[in-house]
Structure 1
């Protein structure tokens, strides 16, 4: 598969030579009888540096469809209403793989979120799928989607091209873009952050300087690819928290050429350039931010996507795992593979999840604390692990499934039981 590189670059791509017009975005007569369509994921008047839009040249306009009706499938997507939300620290076992044929759309299940399509915030979903999507596409009109596969690779067909997304990679799908998900290594399981706020972008580097963390050149955007196919094709749209459906008589992936900067992309998390201290006291976890969705409060994100990849620990006289903390951000954590260094010895398993809502104390368990306190601090590499967080400034409300779906661990608090009391001098 071919890709173009550079996050938020202005790209131009054509699957048929001569399909992309030169000098005019919407010419009177596009080549080959194609239709010009502008796809905008920011307001027309957004500042130039923040404006995201692409011009698509397709075989048929997207206006050609019947009325949308409410989806009657077995969807477990939900908008949490706060009735199941507690201050308790929560942890879940991995989402089981279905015993029947379930595709990406029907395999999604909501664990929590905050806000909504009109006010910003995030939705947090997990998915477990055993089948590729049939003749259907999924369009999320509520939010941008950050997809984190944990098991099984995905082949994601978008209107602008196709992306292979195995575990260890992420996919970023613009709000409103249609996608079709095939399983190339069935079954598949993973996580989805639905971003209702400002589009994800790379964080500012500040004192780090020009280089480090995620680099723009490592984000890969697909080249134009189209499908000229007739037949019934279902469009499932998430709109205002509910799923709707309609049917068209052709493949929706008929974009022959496009140019612009509102485009899907994938990123290999192994390319993240991790920074840390070489003296003492490890830095805040914000040093691991891959992508951020800013809010109207400068420096306080609507959502941060943070990873904890393999890395060297070299600081002296330092408690190396994450310290005990209470903070304004709410943290939903997942594990792609391996063990998380603050929760060793089971409980937090690949495909599982945990939630520490704002201002509720958390940190390493008793065993990890004792091990880190007594460690001979030589250079040490944390290896064979990949954990991540969806971190939000607002309380993450949980759904009925999250609290009563049979995966919530009732004994999570026990990992913090048994800390010896500090011994003060007489």
Structure 2
């Protein structure tokens, strides 16, 4: 495989980086979701357990131990409801399934670039366009919130492409038929065989647990007191196991993987049956297309099954406790704010009424004393003095207005006369006789 040392092209580095980003996000979010769902199921079982223990033993314990037991009993359903509400808020969309679909589609196009298109001059532009289309599709599938973390690990990413494995795919060289068969077809066939056996063991184990919990519940009920109360715990285990089985959608996954293993086995057998000269370009391209179509169809079916499982196993009921509390808190806050506003308005209204009453009383009192105060000698003397002053001021103003008018008339009448040494005496006498006499004291 001399072409394994081929220099990496920039577009392949970009493609592997985008694949690694989406793959890492899908893995991280999927594991976090399953971890939280385990906690929710465990807290549901613990709620029932502590309810039984509180009923049976709280009265016989010392006060501190009894208080701790009751506290845990109260805390567990609240914690379960908070976790359920959190998962419903941040994981109900199944965004990791969208990123998983994007990652697998990029991987499909990477192998097409390295096999079928390896002799096509425009393959770099083709892969660039496909990367853009896939990323836009992921963006739409995540409702416009594509929040990715930077990827700083190896390219191609481990553990799927780990150099410690003897037949690992280096990721950057073009592939011939035998290399594709080894790195892609055989690798995926081995992975699906291992995975289907793991899922089958998990499915069998869950069914055994469900049957055992149901049998214990029936046994406790048949034995009567004091074991009757423990029937509720057996029912809690049964509900948790059934819910987990539905969430994992193991029946659909096993059927899906079984079909993939069957089809890949058929392709593997066909390739192995070809002689050296029969493994030509036509058979090579046919194997690539068939393998990628099978894997992509499996990926689509898996995502569809997981999305249906998420819808069927929603946490609305588990989250109802904390959601109802939050709703009541909002209503309480609304009522509190309304009460504050009402108190301020009521206080303002009372203050305004008090002010109105005080001012009205002041007005009435002032009105009642006004006539009496006006008839007093002091007020009468002040009023007389004010009247005299007003009359004097009016007379002065009238006199000044008359003087101003007379002067204005004289000026208009003698406007064309020049007063000087040549002015006739008769004109001067007439002017002086017309000039108004002032009543102001001289000097």
Larger Rg: 2
Q: Which interval holds the TM-score relative to the shorter structure?
A: under 0.3
Between Structure 1 and Structure 2, which shows a larger proportion of helix residues? 2
Between Structure 1 and Structure 2, which shows a larger proportion of strand residues? 1
TM-score (norm 2): 0.19
TM-score (norm 1): 0.19
